[in-house]
């Protein structure tokens, strides 16, 4: 079936950095559906050829050696530009006429994908005008709407946005995108858990002490400081990325590998997460800020916005009762790494003298989401010719070593899934609202000065010293390596 992909905010950074390079790569790999057309919509004045030339330059820079001028020329012939203003209803009527003209030679039904690559403040305007112009109707073929994060700023705004979206589009037409779910290692987590018999018997409270999920970023907030100060680490990383990783780690096996079955199980996890009381926010969370954050342009000199956070959550069900999920994220950290650490319990009785005696010295499974994507299992072995001296060693798997092809950008998989109508890796309305219901009480408590205290930390480290002390009091230890898999 032919496809028409309309990108609102076509002159923006996301389009040139991610969307067009991903679509080009799909075309180069011959995975883009036959007859796909790409239409950019923005206020910036461009002719078709001028926009194609601008995209050729930016795409060549982002895809590197994969850029083939001949293949680009073939791809660019399917790329078009339509100037328009999201706030102007007449421009949507013009867009409809342009699409009708573009698709006039297509005898088969055409799938239309509307991608909101704009600031969130324009979402409602774009959706309302799509509906008013009849562009949400499916008389010519399927219509799908892609919405970038953030989806709301709290539970109330997320509910309002969902209600607004559903006035124009049915839920099955809506694809709320989180690029973390398009990463190969995140998808491989499902394969690791549900295609291998060796993990299921130990993937529970009987064998796992706790789960650490870390998303660390080496960069500071930089030019995004003014925006970031209104958001903070909870809204930026926890409500979406970290909770998504937690649900995939904790979910039960779906009945089928299809969108509703997978998302049903993720929703069950979110419903089972125990809400934190105000007192538990004080004891089970840490908020931090790197020391020079207030010197960033646009940041108030007295800003209490967190650039680092730790949240300990409990999933109240049979599988995970008593197993804390410890989520952590921060800016200006030692390195860029996203990893899931399954920390196993101690053996019931250590018969070897000098063997590991503490929980954090036990076996662990490390799932490296990025960079150097792969998996590592840590276990003890005897050191040769050293009596019964033991040492932690590992079994490692990396995609780079095992497979010749390079890891695709997340947007390649996600865009292809949208066109194919597979919503497995996209958040459903109830999923988004449940995630906000978990984060909102924490955010509300954090907005009260001193609850918990704002812990300062030096850039280039692993966060506040108090975070290390907090883990030690639980007889646990952070797994801080950059990254474990090289």
Cα–Cα dist 253/200, whole Å: 10
Q: CB–CB of 112/96 below 8 Å? A: no
Type and span of the H or E element at 60: helix 48-63
E strand residue ranges, 222-370: 285-290, 308-314, 324-330, 337-344, 364-370
Type and span of the H or E element at 115: strand 111-116
Cα–Cα dist 246/329, whole Å: 13
The two three-digit tokens of residue 475, written as one number = 């007889």
Buried b / exposed e along 283-297 (16+ C-beta atoms within 10 A):
ebbbbbbbeebbebe
Cα–Cα dist 404/191, whole Å: 20
Which residues are within 8 A (CB) of 326 and not within 5 positions of it... i.e. 6 or more apart?
210, 211, 212, 213, 310, 311, 312, 313, 476
Cα–Cα dist 333/178, whole Å: 22
Helices 20-28 and 48-63: crossing angle, nearest 10°?
80
Active-site annotation holds for 314: no
Lookup result for tokens 């910036």: 44
Distance of CA 393 to the CA centre of its chain: 31
Q: CB–CB of 395/376 below 8 Å? A: yes
Lookup result for tokens 């196993």: 344
Catalytic annotation, pick one of 241, 314, 349, 378: 241
Select from 91, 79, 85 the least CA-distant residue to 24. 79
What values do phi and psi take at 327, rounded to 5? Answer: -100, 135
Cα–Cα dist 354/190, whole Å: 37
Positions marked catalytic = 241
């Amino acid at each position: 079936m032919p496809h028409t992909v309309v990108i609102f905010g076509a002159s923006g950074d996301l389009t040139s950095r991610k969307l067009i390079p991903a679509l080009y790569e799909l075309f180069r790999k011959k995975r883009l559906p036959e007859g796909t057309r790409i239409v950019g919509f923005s206020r910036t004045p461009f002719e078709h050829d001028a926009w194609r030339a601008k995209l050729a330059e930016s795409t060549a820079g982002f895809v590197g050696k994969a850029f083939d001028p001949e293949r680009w020329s073939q791809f660019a012939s399917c790329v078009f530009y339509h100037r328009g203003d999201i706030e102007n209803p007449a421009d949507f009527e013009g867009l409809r006429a342009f699409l009708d003209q573009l698709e006039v030679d297509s005898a088969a039904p055409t799938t239309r994908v509307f991608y909101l690559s704009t600031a969130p403040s324009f979402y409602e305007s774009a959706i309302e005008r799509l509906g008013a112009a009849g562009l949400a109707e499916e008389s010519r073929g399927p219509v799908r709407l892609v919405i970038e994060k953030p989806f709301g700023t709290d539970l109330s705004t997320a509910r309002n946005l969902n209600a607004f979206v559903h006035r124009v589009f049915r839920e099955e037409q809506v694809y709320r995108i989180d690029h973390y779910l398009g990463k190969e290692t995140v998808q491989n987590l499902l394969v690791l858990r549900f295609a291998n018999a060796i993990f299921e018997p130990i993937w529970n409270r009987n064998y796992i002490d706790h789960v650490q999920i870390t998303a660390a970023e080496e960069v500071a907030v930089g030019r995004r400081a003014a925006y970031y100060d209104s958001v903070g680490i909870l809204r930026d990383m926890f409500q979406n990325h970290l909770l998504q990783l937690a649900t995939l780690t904790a979910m039960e096996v779906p009945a089928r590998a299809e969108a509703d079955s997978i998302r049903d199980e993720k929703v069950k996890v979110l419903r089972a997460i125990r809400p934190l009381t105000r007192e538990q926010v004080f004891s089970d969370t840490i908020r931090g800020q790197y020391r020079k954050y207030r010197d960033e342009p646009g940041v108030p000199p007295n800003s209490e916005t967190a650039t680092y956070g730790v949240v300990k959550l409990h999933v109240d069900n049979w599988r995970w009762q008593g197993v804390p999920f410890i989520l952590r994220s921060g800016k200006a950290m030692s390195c860029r790494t996203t990893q899931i650490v399954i920390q196993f319990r101690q053996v019931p009785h250590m018969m070897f003298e000098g063997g590991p005696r503490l929980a954090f010295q036990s076996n662990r499974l490390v799932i490296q989401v990025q960079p150097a994507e792969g998996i590592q299992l840590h276990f003890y072995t005897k050191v040769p010719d050293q009596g019964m001296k033991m040492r932690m060693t590992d079994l490692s798997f990396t995609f780079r070593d095992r497979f010749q092809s390079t890891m695709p950008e997340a947007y390649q998989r996600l865009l292809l899934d949208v066109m194919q109508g597979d919503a497995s890796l996209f958040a459903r309305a109830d999923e988004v609202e449940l995630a906000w219901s978990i984060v909102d009480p924490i955010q509300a408590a954090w907005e009260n000065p001193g609850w918990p205290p704002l812990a300062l930390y030096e850039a280039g480290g692993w966060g506040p010293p108090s975070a290390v002390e907090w883990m030690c009091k639980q007889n646990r230890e952070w797994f801080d390596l950059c990254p474990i898999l090289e």
